[in-house]
A and B are shown apart, each in its own frame.
Chain A
């Protein structure tokens, strides 16, 4: 009852015209980013953070969340129409989606994908509502040692799951921690690693780093692609799936929701794993499995539902525990911190109004996307007809303006460019970028909880083992890091995950 009340209050806050506008703009921008093949969700969200910095906390987070799940919708469109995934998590949709396009069922495929995304996203958000209160109440049990242990688990999961080599993932993670140390010591107050530059006292600007490492380096490393072929948007009439298609999609959507929701809760899993595994599930369980690959509607419904259920479920560990489950969520968490909101148990005690407004806006956003997506398919596809050089130049312009507006200083622009080059180098060395963003965001929180823990125990490290919750978490973290020694094989899907 309490939860319902707070949720309704959240709706009241989210339905003000300003917040609706932010949700709408977020969905719109998210979809555009999803459609553009060169810009992934991490870079996209990072790129758009500067736009939201001047908004109030609720509006800003509402807009960023909308951008985040908007990208998941947008990626589908190009997968279906062009056989080019806009996002990694929609890659698997190309198989049956494009086959359906060739069969003249493109409109139907897009509608099914949009409805599936809506179903998956909405159900996962209901899960968030249900989990918020009970997990939030555990908050007081989480003292500094437990908080530190929780961070250790989150980081080790991401390190273990990112890329092919754990050593490289660890290098990336350590780099993020180092960058997060720049600035004034959060406890003792002494400036660290600032090289005497006053501009660095407040640390390296998180937004500039993320825009550089993810956005700029992605643009720079993008191979010169041919202009997208001309596509014809399906007519409005063909957007309606047949009754048979609906009936076949329903079980696929149910399975997709299950897969996406479950995997979304696990830190380190990316949306592409969910959509991939959902496709595998269809291959195993669908009654029409022999048709998969030849334009079966299940091959669109399942994965598309899964990646949206995943995207929304991934917000659960962020809201309730303060653990970002994927690089995109880590960027989102950075935005929370910029707004003075610390995701985690205290979010619901200290800023419960904002937290519930954001959750309510997730429901609203899912509806908005459904309304935006299907009728506007024509508009989205026309974006692809902007010549690549112009598009790239526009995006670069956005990045520079974005970096400049953080503090209205050119310094941040250079930081952005510098980190763009660093990101490019890391990409060439095949060092995954995900652990770096994660530790960059978590670094200050980890440092603080570590030092508070040690003050509680007066310097005795056993504080992490003597307390049951933290002991279990630390053991879990160790197990994850040691898993390669135990020769536990990762599923192939993970090692080839382009987002990780």
Chain B
């Protein structure tokens, strides 16, 4: 009995090993386009921030529709760190065969290649934009028991004693960091930034534990917190109030001319075959504009604002020009 059993055991073990490997083994062969996506070959969707944040949530909402449209598995992979740069590096160094796409958020994706100190391995040309999903305005919030009841009180305190209040960001030169810099530039209120470079969920946790005084985030990050009365949002950095936070005044209303926010979409590494790009773009549009997805996004405080790949690219180029001007504000001195 022994020899037979040995062979069976080894065969079983080998089989397990090979099936484990086989799942992705073919991921390397180049795709010509027409047969994209091959059946059983999964697509990686890289999210450059940790799970639980708005980028991640949006990607996970889009994922099931994408799977249906493309007829294959789409796996969301979190590659957090360095304010998105680690995930973006991975995305742009992947083969442009359509089997790797990623969520791209500005300003992080726009700005990181602009600052030579970051040594980014990619530029705007390394990305092939596939579609824009949302614009998520920036907000500023304090703990419910904080002495600051209005935006003016908070900003005056930060003006009177610069850097006495700590404020969270999701990393150096991310949307929140720019928002802080713009506030300082226009109002003179200076906060001490604390960079939680993994993403919004770490920043929020630290804020809830009162390890930072001020939460700088996006509307979607605080919608839930406001409902649970865990954060008092003092201002939103847009021209119009957000439908998710109707009671929160805009910075403009309070007399400060500050506009900031995060724009999120999806991109692939540059150089996709045309046929593949078309299929991905079409699937993404379906997924982003899917009524169910839009509804769920609304519930999270995210207003869908779709742009096609080409328009997203133009928009991206415009942002690059804008951010070049304010970049010096957020560079390490």
Contact = CB atoms under 8 A, between A and B. Distances in A.
Residue of B28, B90, B117, B119 with most chain A CB atoms under a 10 A cut-off:
B119
Contacts of B208: 140
Interface string B207-226: 01111100000000000000
Interface stretch (B149-157, B188-196, B289-297, B310-318): B188-196
Interface in B2-43: 2, 5-6, 9-10, 13-14, 16-17, 20-21, 23-25, 27-28
Contacts of B112: 189
A188 B172 contact: yes
B172 A408 contact: no
B195 A32 contact: no
B51 interface: yes
**Interface residues of A: mostly helix, strand, loop or mixed?**
helix
B25 A408 contact: yes
Interface string B266-309: 00000000000000000000000000000000000000000000
A50 B20 contact: yes
B248 interface: no
Given A142-B209, A187-B172, A32 B50 contact: no
Contact of A386 (B6, B17, B25, B27): B6
B327 to A, nearest CB: 14
A188 B21 contact: no
Contacts of B194: 452, 455-456
Nearest to A404: B21
Interface in A241-300: none
A296 to B, nearest CB: 31
A133 interface: no
Interface residues of A, number: 53
B201 interface: yes
A398 B17 contact: yes
A202 B67 CA distance: 27
A145 to B, nearest CB: 8
Contacts of A141: 209
A382 B5 contact: yes
Interface in B90-121: 90, 93, 112, 117-121
Contacts of A353: none
A343 to B, nearest CB: 13
Given A198-B93, A340-B77, A144 B6 contact: no
Interface string B110-148: 001000011111000000000000000000000000000
A185 interface: yes
Contact of A408 (B24, B51, B79): B24
B82 A32 contact: no
B83 interface: yes
Given A188-B172, A408-B28, A379 B201 contact: no
Contacts of B50: 340, 342
A184 B93 contact: no
Contacts of B90: 202
A189 B201 contact: no
B71 interface: no
B6 A382 contact: yes
B16 A25 contact: yes
A16 interface: no
A342 B49 CA distance: 13
Contacts of A144: 206, 211
A32 B9 contact: yes
Interface in A181-213: 183-191, 198, 201-202
Contact of A456 (B82, B172, B198, B211): B211
A421 to B, nearest CB: 24
A88 to B, nearest CB: 23
B89 interface: yes
B81 interface: yes
A394 interface: yes
Given A201-B93, A383-B9, A187 B195 contact: yes
Interface in A33-86: 50-52, 54
Nearest to A199: B93
Contacts of B25: 405, 408
Given A340-B77, A346-B205, A188 B51 contact: no
A93 B124 CA distance: 63
A379 B50 CA distance: 44
A342 B121 CA distance: 27
B324 interface: no
A476 B195 CA distance: 28
A184 B205 contact: no
A351 interface: yes
Interface string B44-68: 0000001110000000000000000
Nearest to A345: B205
A350 interface: yes
A490 interface: no
Contacts of B193: 455
B193 to A, nearest CB: 7
A422 interface: no
A398 B208 CA distance: 46
Interface string A147-185: 000000000000000000000000000000000000111
A198 B90 CA distance: 10
B171 interface: yes
B197 interface: yes
Given A54-B23, A341-B51, A452-B194, 4 more contacts: A201-B93, A394-B13, A408-B25, A456-B166
14 contacts: A142-B209, A144-B206, A184-B81, A184-B82, A187-B83, A187-B171, A191-B121, A340-B51, A350-B201, A382-B1, A394-B14, A455-B166, A456-B212, A458-B163
